[in-house]
Chain A
Amino acid sequence: MDALPGPSPPHGGAGSCGGGWWAFDSIINNGDAREADYPYTATDSTCNNSVSRPYRAVVWGYVKPDGGIPTVDAMKKALCEHGPLAVAVYVSAAFQAYAGGVFDEKITNQGINHGVTLVGWNDTERAWIIKNSWGAGWGNAGYMHIAWDSNNIGSGAAWVDARNPYYILPHKYYELIPNLKPFPEPDPLPHLKPAPHQ
Chain B
Amino acid sequence: MRRGGMILAILLPAMGVGTCTAAGGAKKPMTVGEADQDKTIRVAVGDEVEVRLEAQFGTGYAWALSKVDDGIVRKVGEPTVDRSGEGRAGSKETQVFRFQAKAAGETVLELVYARSWAKDEPPLRRFRVKLQVSAPPAP
Contacts and interface: CB of A to CB of B under 8 A. Distances in A.
Give the contact-size bracket for chain B: 20 to 34
Q: Classify the secondary structure of B's interface with A.
A: loop
Contacts of B59: 42-43, 134
A128 to B, nearest CB: 16
Nearest to A93: B62
B60 A115 contact: no
Interface string B67-105: 000000000000101010111111111000000000000
Nearest to A43: B124
A133 to B, nearest CB: 8
Contact of A114 (B83, B89, B115, B116): B89
B100 to A, nearest CB: 22
A119 interface: no
23 contacts: A15-B88, A17-B90, A19-B87, A42-B59, A42-B60, A43-B59, A93-B62, A95-B57, A96-B57, A99-B117, A110-B81, A110-B83, A111-B85, A111-B87, A113-B58, A113-B83, A113-B90, A114-B57, A114-B90, A132-B60, A137-B118, A138-B118, A156-B89
A138 B124 CA distance: 17
Interface of B: 56-62, 79, 81, 83, 85-93, 115-118, 124
Interface of A: 4-5, 15, 17-21, 42-43, 88, 90-93, 95-97, 99, 110-115, 132, 134, 137-138, 156
B58 to A, nearest CB: 3
